[in-house]
Amino acid sequence: MPGARSLILLYSRPDCSRTGPIRTRMLDLGVVFQEIDIEGDPDAAQYIQQLNRGERLTPTLIIGNGLFRLTQPSLADLELTLRRIGYHF
């Protein structure tokens, strides 16, 4: 079971076509995460821009208080990272 350090934040935008498959896969795998819509949260939008060299790239995932950061990951990259933090599927 994932440890307490494995908080997962999914930064998204309503118009982002890449977010849907990531969200769906995490839900299908039973991954607990918090989703933050950067369109409705200016501070989150600014944070994502700082992380991604001025770009508002979504989905961006922050895992384990910054232990891992994934920007527009493939499903394979997402699953590999989830395994690294203790998810088994």
Provide the residue ranges of all domains of the chain, joining segments of one domain with +: 34-63
Helix, coil or strand: residue 37: strand
Asked whether the beta carbons of 62 and 9 are under 8 A apart, the reply is: yes
Sign of CA dihedral 12, 21, 57, 10: positive
Sign of CA dihedral 76, 38, 54, 9: negative
pLDDT of 38: 98
Per-residue pLDDT of the chain (89 residues; tens, 9 = 90+): 444 447 999 999 999 999 999 999 999 999 999 999 999 999 999 999 999 999 999 999 999 888 899 999 999 999 999 999 989 88
> In angstroms, rounded to a whole number, what is the distance separating the alpha carbons of residues 33 and 78?
13
pLDDT of 1: 47
pLDDT of 4: 46
